[in-house]
Structure 1
Amino acid sequence: MSTPEDKTGEEKVPRPSWRDVIYNPRTGEFVGRTASSWGLIFLFYLAFYGFLAGMFALTMWVMLQTLDENTPRYRDRIANPGLVIRSTSMDIFFNRSDPLTYRAYVQHLESFLQQYNNSVQGKNEQCVTGQYFDQDEEVLKKACQFRRSTLNPCSGEGDRTFGYFKGQPCILVKMNRVIGLKPRGEPYINCTAKAGNPLKMHYYPSEGRIDKMYFPYYGKKSHQSYVQPLVAVKLLITKEDYNKEISIECRVEGSNLQNNDERDKFQGRVNFRVKVME
């Protein structure tokens, strides 16, 4: 008896197994391609991605040649620095009878003022007051001295609690660093309080002045020993103001620096709150 294959002359072809999909020993194909085919694909992608990497490296190199490592290329806010205070919080609430409630504030101020110690600032220059300290021709810039003793009772040298134990804390105010900034006029810090009774304040240095000799700033890399000038504001809070939340705003005045932009609450000004309890 003849089979269907005998009648049609067709041969039964065996079906490929799943192993042949990975490697076919009859054709030498691995995952559907021969070794030469895989080699050509590998060389193509090696050349393609090598070219892309080379183009990216060349582009980055060209861009870096246009940059100055000491000065940002774009400085759209050069004339309008922000103001900040040195405190662990913008809400300064404490009990004058409990040192634990103001210990963090005191420790923060003491740590921050270490860079203003006489032993550190003695290495800097004694500059001429009232004049800009221009150093455009120098590679490594010198810095003017700002000793913490300039802050008088707010220096922490006599009163280690910076006035907190008396309920009259010292707040340090400083401007943000802006490369090349040379404010015109005579900049000073002025603070006002929204309280039931007028709140008296003492400023150190006198009248909250920021001397021109601390300008301009040349950048962190070339002006390594530079420290920002500070203004200490001692809040003379009385018993009548105890247990009351007092909102205070400090502004830089007396110069061309802006302090009234409603879109930026820290441009030339800073707001914080104080509450003394007993």
Structure 2
Amino acid sequence: MASTEDKPANKENASSWKDSFYNPRTGEVMGRTASSWALILLFYFVFYCFLAGMFALTMWVMLLTLDDNVPKYRDRVPTPGLVIRPHSLDITFNKSDPLKYSQYVQHLESFLQSYNDTEQEKNEDCPPGDYFMQDNSEEQVKKTCRFKRSLLSFCSGLYDVNFGYSEGKPCVLLKMNRIIGLMPRGDPYINCTVKRDNPVQMQYFPSEGRFDKMYFPYYGKKAHENYVQPLVAVKLHLSKEDYNKELPVECRVEGSDLRNNDERDKFLGRVTFRIKVLE
């Protein structure tokens, strides 16, 4: 049986616990008076307003140094990579079975939609051989030189809807990645080689697989909305001896100051892919 002496102690503990939240004798709430709470809340309000103001000021100053059209730092990738279409580094198909190469044909056709004559007629008919320099005004939308898919001739899909895959002489398209302000020196062109004893006959479209200077420089996605990269199509004239064999093909950008031999990045100015035609 609990002693009567424990009851006053329990009451004192309960009273002390309640007083820690609100003490009716001193008017304190959680150990502070109303004026004390007001002062500490005012201090933190001013403190955090100051921090928010400093953050907003630094962000505003930083944004003043940025250009909407040109990245602030562009020294990481000074040379463009080379990209292949269809988007595969291992092209294998049976030339006698349309289902086996339909994915490559559909990919090429979809990719070339932006190069249709109806789309490119909206762009400028630029004089070849010279850089297409434009005003650096930020408000001006940059003009784009035409690149019609008809320039790709037998690899355009206009004369052969199967891009040569049905006859075992496939086409691949090559383009360089976009780099703002890039103006390659010299006369850049694509050169492809097949790693085998006997050379494979190839056709390049446009003539000699060249990237004309009129498609440079590129001014950025926002300023150059309608820009499309120039393309080079390579048609591989494979013979029966080449069928059922995996042929490694390497394509490089030659004839300019663009790097194509960096062992740390095998896609810098070059691309290597494999092609195998089954019959």
Fold similarity call, TM over 0.5: yes
Q: Distance in 1 between matches of 2:20 and 2:210?
A: 80
Alignment match, 2:270: 269
Alignment match, 1:94: 93
- Listed as ranges, the matches of 1:65-84 within 5 Å are 65-76=64-75, 79-84=78-83
- Listed as ranges, the matches of 1:160-179 within 5 Å are 160-179=161-180
- Per-residue CA deviation, residues 231-269 of structure 1 (Å, 9 max, x unaligned), is 001111222111211111110001111111111111111
Alignment match, 1:144: 145
Cα distance change on mapping 1:37 and 1:190 into 2, 3 Å? same
The amino acid of 2:67's aligned partner reads: D
Alignment match, 1:186: 187
Contact (CA 8 Å) 1:78, 1:180: kept in 2 or not?
Answer: no
Contact (CA 8 Å) 1:78, 1:179: kept in 2 or not?
Answer: no
Asked if 1:16 corresponds to 2:17, the answer is no
Alignment match, 2:113: 114
Structure 2 residue ranges without an equivalent (≥5): none
- Per-residue CA deviation, residues 75-104 of structure 1 (Å, 9 max, x unaligned), is 215641111112232111112122222222
The amino acid of 1:127's aligned partner reads: C
The amino acid of 1:258's aligned partner reads: R
- Listed as ranges, the matches of 1:45-84 within 5 Å are 45-76=44-75, 79-84=78-83
TM-score by length of 1: 0.89
Q: Distance in 2 between matches of 1:197 and 1:21?
A: 97
Q: Distance in 2 between matches of 1:161 and 1:36?
A: 84
Alignment match, 1:244: 245
Secondary structure (helix, strand or coil) at the match of 2:92 reads strand
Structure 1 residue ranges without an equivalent (≥5): 6-10
- Per-residue CA deviation, residues 97-131 of structure 1 (Å, 9 max, x unaligned), is 22222222111111111110000000111111111
The amino acid of 1:179's aligned partner reads: I
Q: Distance in 2 between matches of 1:82 and 1:237?
A: 26
Cα distance change on mapping 1:96 and 1:36 into 2, 3 Å? farther
Q: Alignment length, in residue pairs?
A: 269
The amino acid of 2:156's aligned partner reads: S
- Per-residue CA deviation, residues 120-164 of structure 1 (Å, 9 max, x unaligned), is 000111111111111135522111100000000111112111111
* Range moving further from structure 2, 72-81 or 211-220: 72-81
Cα distance change on mapping 1:14 and 1:230 into 2, 3 Å? same
Contact (CA 8 Å) 1:208, 1:232: kept in 2 or not?
Answer: yes
Contact (CA 8 Å) 1:83, 1:173: kept in 2 or not?
Answer: yes
Q: Distance in 2 between matches of 1:218 and 1:35?
A: 62
Report sequence identity in percent: 66
Secondary structure (helix, strand or coil) at the match of 2:272 reads strand
